[in-house]
Structure 1
Amino acid sequence: MLLGLVLLETLIKLWAAAHLTPGSDRVLLPGVLHLGFTLNPGMAWGLLGGLSAPLAALRLLVGLGLLWALLTHRLQPAQRWPLVLVAAGALGNAVDGLTRGAVVDYLTSPLLDTVSMLLSRQAFPIFNVSDVLVSGGVLWLLVSSRRSPPQAAVDTAGGTRRQETP
């Protein structure tokens, strides 16, 4: 699944780089999701734009580290699927950073632009499926961690079990 997501994202980025130009605006879902194009050497809102190679290396390390943890079953079952999404997104953007020196971003959202303008007076950054995978995986982890029941822990002082509170 993880490698399939990375391959799919790589193919979409190849298509976007070949068929979209900066400033293009093709409607996918009116008012919600459009196609645009930019090569982003940094992160959202152009942050760390001069650090393309270190960002690509960091994304690669995160993706490979999560892949290793997934393959060696070092994660709780509830963490596996969200971390598959995070790893796929990290690897998808690492491939771009390592091969192009920038990440291909191709999705825009007028709806997110409106919300972002109200909150920060800036348009929401153009993004890609890798960004959605990372954000979705992190959100999934946050939501699932809030819904997890308290777990019993060992009291190291007395050897008795107690309930941890969230």
Structure 2
Amino acid sequence: MRSRSAITTLAVLGFALDRALKQYALGSPALGRGVFVFDSAFGLRLSLNEFFAWSLPVPNAAVLWIMVPAIAVLGAALYTKRAHPSAAGPLGLVAIGALSNAIDRLFYGGVVDYLAVPFGGAFNIADALVVLGAALLAVPGKRYAH
């Protein structure tokens, strides 16, 4: 039970921090150019991803048609406690990260990324929550079926 409350806390704090950093990135002219550390290898840079993950060429509207129902199904499963108890935390991380990125798509026409990594990539905390949730679901030895 302790790990479930830790995951819930991580999801809530991650969502709040992601939303705050996105607002900061959108309002900071310096982040348009980027603020880097480690010899320009890592830092903060505003990037609007109008496509799918890793900038795959899937239009924003198509992504929303997929994301909104998927988030609704995840949310309903968690709310009605239809998800296996051990899967609820990881699914919550996926849902909250997807929700934050869906909000971006609705209001900004794409996902606001702000963490710049080497070779030109960028991501945000919501992306990390989705990946962490998916990774936790893949942990060997965990059973997520009823």
Would you tell me which structure has more helix in proportion to its own residues? Answer: 2
Give the aligned residue type for 1:26. F
Q: CA deviation at 1:5?
A: 4.1
- The 4+ residue runs of structure 1 with deviation greater than 6 A are none
- Alignment partner, residue 161 of structure 1: none
- Tell me the number of residue pairs that the alignment of Structure 1 and Structure 2 aligns: 133
Q: Tell me what 1:14 maps to.
A: 23
Amino acid at match of 2:127: D
Alignment of 1:1-166 (within 5 A): 1=8, 5-19=14-28, 20-27=30-37, 30=38, 33-49=42-58, 51-110=59-118, 123=119, 125-143=121-139, 146-148=140-142
Task: Provide structure 1 residue ranges, at least 5 long, that are not aligned to the other structure.
Answer: 111-122, 152-166
Question: How large is the RMSD of aligned CA atoms in angstroms?
Answer: 2.4
Unpaired runs of 5+ residues, structure 2, are 1-7
Larger CA deviation: 3-12 vs 53-62: 3-12
**Residue type matched to 1:129 in 2?**
I
Report the TM-score, using the length of structure 1 for normalisation. Answer: 0.69
1:163 maps to none
How far is the alpha carbon of 1:4 from its aligned partner? 5.5
* Residue identity matched to 2:141: R
Using the alignment, how far apart are the partners of 2:135 and 2:12 within structure 1? Answer: 21
Q: Among the aligned pairs, what percent are the same residue?
A: 33
